[in-house]
């Protein structure tokens, strides 16, 4: 077969040789997150995981992306942190049920395979998986010219967790007078970046990312690039002490906290009980964003909120010194009313 014939697919925009080399590279990176439970990982048609040690296991799954924060990675060149973002955004959703993450898969689609970028993304995913006791067992890297521009890419993550049936969190047990205990965020996480980009005109003036902000103590780019943090460690410490757990993601406090409350129960948050990170004050002032909208878009410094019986409060605050009492549940005639 002539070289010209064998290269037709490459001329069409898809390089199979590069893809094969990349697959082998990614398999080596991901292998460091594997334990004995992983029977097969990257390279086959599917990853295999041996589940053991449970009496009545319930599998919990979730999928997510990181939205337009991807564009920030292209501007800063910090792709590894985007991989961390992706894993933690997914894992934090699964642990709200009481489950522990066991394995993760990713999907990356690009206009043209850039091995450096993909290696950094998967390296970040592996770092996040290892820190949460989760195995990166598979994924897909798709070269799709015509769908994506040559320098464009998108990605999504898929995670599976497991929990004993009798350890599933049960929001139906929540009553008025239960307390709300929050675990702080480390910044914006992965939500609201379309608004952030517009407010600071980042698309037209990316150099603003290099501007040092005294109140932030670092550049704007470094601040908003901070990876979405994991709450797996805190979730393990909360086991047996809480009724429900809310991950504060897109939709902010106003839309996410109700997802962890039963019908007829609302929440009263005391806004003076925690310090809102300076980045949110900067966004609000520069963008002239209302208080209500800020709380419908961003986490405002609270990454997770647990609901528990007041008798467990002291134990939680002792186990997790950085946890904060931020409010209590209330009876509500409206559907899961949130008062801030």
Residues 122 and 211 in one domain: no
Task: Report whether 121 contacts 156 (CB < 8 A).
Answer: no
Smallest CA-to-CA distance from 252 within 338, 172, 176 is with 338
Q: What's the confidence (pLDDT) of residue 109?
A: 94
* pLDDT tier for residue 5 given thresholds of 50, 70 and 90: low
Q: How does pLDDT run across 16-47, given as a tens digit for each residue?
A: 656 566 666 666 766 777 777 777 666 667 77
Q: How does pLDDT run across 180-223, given as a tens digit for each residue?
A: 999 999 999 999 999 999 999 999 999 999 999 999 999 999 99
Sign of torsion over alpha carbons 318, 322, 327, 333: negative
Q: What percent of the chain clears pLDDT 70, i.e. is strictly above it? A: 90
Q: What's the confidence (pLDDT) of residue 45?
A: 72
Instruction: Report how many domains make up the chain.
Output: 2
Q: Is the pLDDT of residue 299 over 60?
A: yes
Burial of 293 (0-12, 13-18, 19+ CB in 10 A): middle
Distance between CA atoms of residues 116 and 259, nearest Å? 39
Average pLDDT, the chain: 90
Whole-angstrom CA distances from 76 to 115, 232, 247 are 17, 28, 27
Residues 71 and 147 in one domain: yes
Residues 131 and 181 in one domain: no
Distance between CA atoms of residues 182 and 320, nearest Å? 10
Q: Which domain holds residue 223?
A: 171-339
Q: Is the pTM of this model over 0.85?
A: yes
Residues 293 and 268 in one domain: yes
Smallest CA-to-CA distance from 320 within 303, 335, 333 is with 303
- Which of the residue ranges 50-64, 109-123, 231-245 has the most confident prediction, judged by mean pLDDT? 231-245
What CATH number is attached to the domain comprising 144? Answer: 3.30.1330.10
Q: How does pLDDT run across 151-192, given as a tens digit for each residue?
A: 899 999 999 999 999 999 999 999 999 999 999 999 999 999
Distance between CA atoms of residues 77 and 73, nearest Å? 5
Residues 262 and 144 in one domain: no
Q: Is the pLDDT of residue 224 over 70?
A: yes
The residue ranges of DSSP E strands in 249-311, in sequence order, are 265-269, 302-308
Q: Is the pLDDT of residue 4 over 60?
A: no
Residues 276 and 331 in one domain: yes
Task: Report whether 295 contacts 340 (CB < 8 A).
Answer: yes
Domain boundary among the residues 120, 143, 167 is at 167
Smallest CA-to-CA distance from 41 within 104, 101, 85 is with 104
Residue 267: CA count within 13 A, CB half-sphere: 31
Residues 252 and 273 in one domain: yes
Higher-confidence position of 88 and 28: 88
Residues 225 and 286 in one domain: yes
Task: Report whether 336 contacts 326 (CB < 8 A).
Answer: no
Q: Which position has the token pair 């592996």? A: 126
What CATH number is attached to the domain comprising 278? Answer: 3.90.650.10
Q: Is the pLDDT of residue 129 over 90?
A: yes
Residues 267 and 213 in one domain: yes
Residues 181 and 286 in one domain: yes
Which residues are 302's β-sheet partners?
184
Residues 140 and 126 in one domain: yes
């Amino acid at each position: 077969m002539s070289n010209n014939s064998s290269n037709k697919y490459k001329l069409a925009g898809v390089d199979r040789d590069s893809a094969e080399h990349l697959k082998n590279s990614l398999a080596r990176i991901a292998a460091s997150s594997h334990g004995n439970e992983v029977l097969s990982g990257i390279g086959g048609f599917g990853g295999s995981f041996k589940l053991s040690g449970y009496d009545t296991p319930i599998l919990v799954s979730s999928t997510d992306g990181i939205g337009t924060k991807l564009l920030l990675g292209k501007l800063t060149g910090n792709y590894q942190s985007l991989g961390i973002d992706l894993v933690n955004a997914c894992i934090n959703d699964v642990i709200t049920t009481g489950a522990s993450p066991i394995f993760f898969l990713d999907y990356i689609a690009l206009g043209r395979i850039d091995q450096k970028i993909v290696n950094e993304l998967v390296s970040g995913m592996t770092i996040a998986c290892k820190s949460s006791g989760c195995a990166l067992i598979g994924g897909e890297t798709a070269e799709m010219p015509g769908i994506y521009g040559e320098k464009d890419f998108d990605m999504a993550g898929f995670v599976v967790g497991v929990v004993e049936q009798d350890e599933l969190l049960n929001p139906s047990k929540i009553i008025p007078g239960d307390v709300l205990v929050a675990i702080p965020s480390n910044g914006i996480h992965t939500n609201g970046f379309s608004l952030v980009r517009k407010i600071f005109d980042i698309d037209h003036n990316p150099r603003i990312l290099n501007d040092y902000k005294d109140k932030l103590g670092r550049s704007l780019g470094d601040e908003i690039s901070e990876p979405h943090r994991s709450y797996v460690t805190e979730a393990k410490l909360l086991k047996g002490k809480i009724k429900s757990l809310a991950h504060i993601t897109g939709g902010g406090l106003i839309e996410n906290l109700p997802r962890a409350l039963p019908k007829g129960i609302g929440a009263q948050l005391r806004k003076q009980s925690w310090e809102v990170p300076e980045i949110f004050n900067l966004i609000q002032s520069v963008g002239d964003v209302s208080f209500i909208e800020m709380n419908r878009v961003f986490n405002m410094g609270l990454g997770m909120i647990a609901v528990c019986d007041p008798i467990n409060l002291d134990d939680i605050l002792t186990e997790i010194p950085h946890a904060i009492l931020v409010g209590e549940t209330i009876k509500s005639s409206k559907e899961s009313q949130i008062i801030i």
